[in-house]
Amino acid sequence: MTMMILCLICPVSRGNAESETLKGNPASKKVEQSMSACIAEASRLKLPIATLQARLQEALVKKVSDEKIVTALEHHLQALIAAQKILEKAAGRNRESRTTEILTALARAIESGLPPEIFEELFKDQRGVFSYRMQALIEAGEMLYLGGISQESVKIFMLECKNRDMPRKATIRAASFWMQRHQEGLDTDEILRRLWGGEVSRP
Amino acid sequence: MKTSPNNNIPVRNTKDTFPKKHLAGLRRRAPDGFTQRVMASLPMHRHKTFHWWPEGNSWIAPLLTGVAAALLIVALLPDNMLRSPHTERITVQFELHAPEASVVELVGNFTDWQPGRIKLEGPDQSGHWTASLDLPAGRHEYLFLVDGRRWVTDPLALIYRPDGFGNMNAVVNL
């Protein structure tokens, strides 16, 4: 069972999996069972398991308790499921090659505390077309939320970037600008005015 | 000698010009060596024959020239024509003030959360450890690992995210 977990963590370098991962970080039976269950469920739902593997790897390196590892894995799985529901609702069965990256970014944002409803509204007229810019949008929204920006302001920001079809760099730069102005004490309206001249379409 | 019917211009009769006694003396084949002597007297003329593949080593120079031209074109093209957002790499400077540390490492998603891959250089005179990395465009989480046992959050990061294990990961969006 331990070797199976190790193989799941390091699918490429299986020969060195034991030396790299078990180096002072053995996984208990409880963690192995939880990881197996999460992977089985993720596979059944056709969810990416790479982030589950990364989560486990992070936990093992940081030498956290088994209970925390199990909780983190299950929490991450639930975030992936919630993200998948949002994308399926927006895209139907029409999946594109970028969906895995979008789904992973969306799961992370939900795990960080952003409510799924924000993204449901963001994606409602996508018709199954998700671009690399949408991934940047989600990550920028998460960045703002983690920086202390309100959910409402995050929603306004993401909708505005989406409507303007902003490329990744511009989206990240705009998010950084918002963060810095927020730290200076400016309110949302003033930040919007400075960013886009106040010409925004509020939801 | 006969004359033409229309005028009095004399017309030669070939039979008279080449009498049989002369024809009887003519040889029926060329003398020995005649063909060789004739061919040897002709000027040399090289035929240009088309070959799909150059003969000998004559293909090397054109090939090298083509490769050099291709490399020059690639070198002169702007970056955005060659790199997709997924492959663009951005240089990021990491820094930590830890004057009493012996080893400072950078651990994050870009190291697959494996320690021992990126070590900061230092400390300098002011006790700072630094590292400069080329990371792919995207979102990255990381922590510093001091002396192999103490996890330290980057105090200079713009964003932090709880890792769910009691630590705060620094987040950088490139």
Residues of chain A positioned with their CB less than 8 A from the CB of B159: 143, 146-147, 179
A158 CB within 8 Å of a chain B CB: no
Which structure tokens are listed for B39?
Answer: 């061919």
The parts of chain B modelled with pLDDT lower than 50 are 1-4, 6, 11, 14-18, 78-84
The pLDDT value given to residue B37: 81
Minimal Cα–Cα distance from A63 to chain B, Å? 9
How many Cβ atoms are within 10 Å of B55's Cβ, its own excluded? Answer: 8
Minimal Cα–Cα distance from A2 to chain B, Å? 18
ipTM of predicted complex: 0.79
- The string over A7-25, giving b where at least 16 C-beta atoms fall within 10 Å of a residue's C-beta and e elsewhere, is ebbbeeeeeebeebbbeee
> Distance between CA A167 and CA A194 in Å, rounded?
19
How many Cβ atoms are within 10 Å of A63's Cβ, its own excluded? Answer: 11
The Cα-based distances of A73 to B21, B107, B163 in angstroms read 123, 20, 12
The pLDDT value given to residue A92: 61
The pLDDT value given to residue B60: 80
Residues of chain B positioned with their CB less than 8 A from the CB of A66: none
The pLDDT value given to residue A96: 55
- pTM for this entry: 0.68
> Is the CB of residue B114 less than 8 Å from the CB of residue A57?
yes
The pLDDT value given to residue B38: 79
The pLDDT value given to residue B69: 80
Residues of chain B positioned with their CB less than 8 A from the CB of A62: 151, 163, 165, 167
The values of phi and psi at residue B118, to 5°, are -125, 115
Q: Running along chain A, 203 residues long, what does each successive block of 10 average in pLDDT? A: 49 36 59 88 90 91 91 93 87 61 92 91 69 87 94 92 89 92 90 79 55
SS3 B41: helix
The pLDDT value given to residue B3: 46
Q: What count of Cα atoms within 13 Å lies in the side-chain half-sphere of residue A79?
A: 24
> Distance between CA B174 and CA B171 in Å, rounded?
10
The pLDDT value given to residue B48: 59
Which structure tokens are listed for B35?
Answer: 């063909």
DSSP class of residue A96?
A: -
Q: Give the nearest partner residue to B114 out of A61, A72, A172, using CB atoms.
A: A61
DSSP B116-144: TSEE-B---TTSEEEEEEEEESSEEEEEE
Peptide bond into B78 cis (omega under 30): no
Tokens 């927020």 belong to which residue? A182
B149 CB within 8 Å of a chain A CB: no
The pLDDT value given to residue A123: 82
The backbone region for A70, taken as left when phi is positive above 0, alpha when psi lies in -120 to 50, beta otherwise, is alpha
